[in-house]
């Protein structure tokens, strides 16, 4: 067990009072995720109080707890456990002497975060750290920092937001040496006046840049100049990535290979890198260029990054591929069920259009799109048609405008929920089918994927 926090260090960092000596090798605030040697932080939320689960955490092997009321077992007593978690996050960041990369964006931030971690871990095994899952909010970011070993050479921290001002708070905690925006798109549009406001909110990530840090942003974005203007307030070092010849990190040549991978020759400010990208889809080309730009800015090993991108496979809910065994053969399923907005829907539908077989798209409604929801949903009709989708299974009431737009264009079925979609899909599945499943996480299509795929998975199609 590697020591991450001692009781003494926790008390010193949080201003708390230690009750019993212990050494923690991890940090958790969800009692269901506590493992042997972890520190359990008993947070008080709107609907539950972590103090109710302290005994469960100890039963699961927690080494100690951070609490705001006395409990049985070794603990550090603080006034406010949320403030204590943030204090641990600041302490972990201050003692880490490696390079920190912050990642945000309307789409692709978790995928880029995972690919970046793989690239850096490839060159520094055991010395790269990252946010787990999509822990990117006001609780997840401090947790990810508090879990960061002091000896980390690299850390990749994902940051998300629903409202203006949220990223500014997170990035000042992360203090990145490299701040990366993957893309700007109408995600969470319900909370913003327009896409320009979304760009401004994402650009808050630059506010936390360490002196001499680098801002990385998408050259091909219509908000490029706005993002550059904001970045210049905080740094003179700006890198752009994209397919345009003017981008600082760009693909000068690409060749699609058998199996869906792509051979890419990328031009950087002072070098070139040729590598294979294992993940299919044009959106992954942009993701890969963003990764290469961040590794370059962090002084990482570009050759190792190229190898990692060649080995990259889909993540659960974000491109993972499954084989479904049927009575007379197999069908293939692409799991993009974790989240959806108009840009990511269009990108993954384009990817589906390059697959061989009968193309079926199971599309859940997109949430938090505000007044433009009907227009955004109806706008998916063209990407569906261009992808050659033979059957669209539309899930949720908000899909009604798309159903209307598809009349006479593409065969479709509109159902109320994920359970109904699963029943319809099971009834029509045939060998050779390739199924894309994508929608906002709250629609519940992930459970449908689990039910259909079971434990039989394949990452190569």
- Binding site: residue ranges? 105-111
In 3D, which of 249, 253, 272 has the Cα closest to residue 264?
Answer: 253
Residue owning tokens 């077992």: 73
Q: Strand order of the sheet with strand 178-181? A: 128-130, 154-158, 99-104, 178-181, 214-218, 237-242, 249-256, 262-267, 272-277
Q: Do strands 391-395 and 359-364 pair parallel, antiparallel, or not at all (unpaired)?
A: parallel
Query: What distance in Å separates the CA atoms of residue 172 and residue 406, rounded to the nearest whole number?
Result: 46
Q: Which residues pair with 267 in a beta bridge?
A: 250, 272
HEC assignment per residue over 369-394: CHHHHHHHHHCCHHHHHHCCCCEEEE
With both helix axes pointing from N to C terminus, report the angle between 195-202 and 224-231 in degrees, rounded to the nearest 10.
Answer: 30
Query: What distance in Å separates the CA atoms of residue 50 and residue 40, rounded to the nearest whole number?
Result: 9
In 3D, which of 128, 163, 123, 172 has the Cα closest to residue 148?
Answer: 128
Residue owning tokens 């955004």: 376
Q: Strand order of the sheet with strand 434-438? A: 320-326, 329-336, 434-438, 359-364, 391-395, 412-415
* CA Rg value for the chain: 23
CB 110, CB 165: distance < 8 Å: no
Helix count (H) and strand count (E) of the chain? 16, 22
Q: Residues within the annotated binding site for ATP?
A: 105-111
- Beta strand ranges found along 312-372 (DSSP E): 320-326, 329-336, 359-364
Query: What distance in Å separates the CA atoms of residue 324 and residue 431, rounded to the nearest whole number?
Result: 9
Measured at the CA of 174, the angle between CA 173 and CA 180, to 5 degrees, comes to 135
Q: Which two tokens stand for residue 460?
A: 């190569």
In 3D, which of 384, 395, 399, 392 has the Cα closest to residue 419?
Answer: 395
Phi, psi of 85 (to 5 degrees): -60, -40
Q: Which residues contact 114 (CB under 8 A, 6 or more apart)?
A: 130, 312, 315
Q: Which two tokens stand for residue 443?
A: 């629609």
């Amino acid at each position: 067990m590697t020591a991450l926090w001692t009781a003494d260090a926790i008390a010193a960092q949080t201003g708390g009072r230690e009750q019993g000596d212990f050494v923690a090798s991890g940090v958790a605030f969800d009692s269901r995720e506590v493992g042997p040697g972890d520190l359990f932080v008993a947070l008080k939320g709107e609907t539950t109080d972590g103090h109710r689960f302290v005994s469960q955490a100890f039963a699961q092997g927690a080494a100690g707890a951070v609490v705001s009321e006395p409990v049985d077992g070794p603990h550090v007593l603080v006034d406010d456990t949320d403030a204590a978690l943030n204090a641990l996050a600041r302490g972990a960041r201050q003692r880490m002497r490696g390079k920190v990369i912050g990642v945000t964006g309307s789409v692709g931030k978790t995928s880029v975060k995972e690919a970046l971690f793989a690239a850096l871990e490839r060159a520094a095994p055991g010395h790269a750290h990252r946010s787990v899952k999509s822990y990117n909010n006001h609780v997840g970011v401090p947790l990810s920092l508090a879990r960061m070993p002091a000896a980390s050479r690299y850390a990749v921290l994902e940051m998300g937001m629903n409202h203006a001002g949220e990223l500014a708070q997170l990035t000042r905690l992360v203090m990145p040496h490299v701040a990366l925006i993957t893309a700007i798109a109408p995600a969470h549009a319900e909370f913003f006046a327009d896409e320009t406001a979304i760009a401004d909110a994402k650009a808050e990530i630059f506010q936390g840049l360490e002196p001499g840090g680098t801002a990385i942003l998408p050259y091909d974005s219509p908000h490029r100049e706005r993002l550059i203007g904001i970045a210049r307030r905080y740094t003179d070092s700006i890198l752009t990535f994209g397919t345009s010849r003017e981008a600082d990190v760009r693909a000068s040549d690409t060749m699609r290979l058998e199996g869906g991978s792509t051979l890419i020759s990328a031009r950087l400010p002072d070098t070139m890198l040729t590598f294979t990208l294992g993940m299919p889809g044009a959106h992954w080309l942009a993701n890969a260029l963003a990764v290469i730009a961040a590794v370059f800015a962090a002084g990482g090993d570009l050759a190792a990054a190229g190898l990692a991108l060649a080995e990259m496979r889909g993540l659960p809910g974000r491109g993972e591929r499954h084989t479904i065994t049927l009575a007379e053969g197999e069908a293939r399923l692409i799991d993009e069920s974790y989240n959806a907005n108009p840009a990511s829907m269009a990108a993954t539908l384009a990817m589906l259009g390059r697959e061989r077989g009968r193309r079926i798209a199971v599309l859940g409604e997109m949430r938090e799109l505000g007044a433009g929801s009907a227009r955004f949903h109806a706008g998916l009709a063209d990407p569906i048609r261009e992808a050659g989708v033979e059957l669209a299974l539309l899930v949720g009431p908000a899909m009604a405008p798309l159903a209307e737009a598809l009349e006479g264009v593409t065969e479709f079925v509109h159902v109320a929920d994920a359970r109904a979609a699963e029943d319809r899909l099971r009834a029509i599945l045939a060998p050779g089918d390739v199924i894309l499943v994508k929608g906002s996480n709250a629609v519940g299509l992930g459970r449908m994927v689990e039910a259909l795929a079971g434990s039989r998975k394949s990452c190569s199609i």
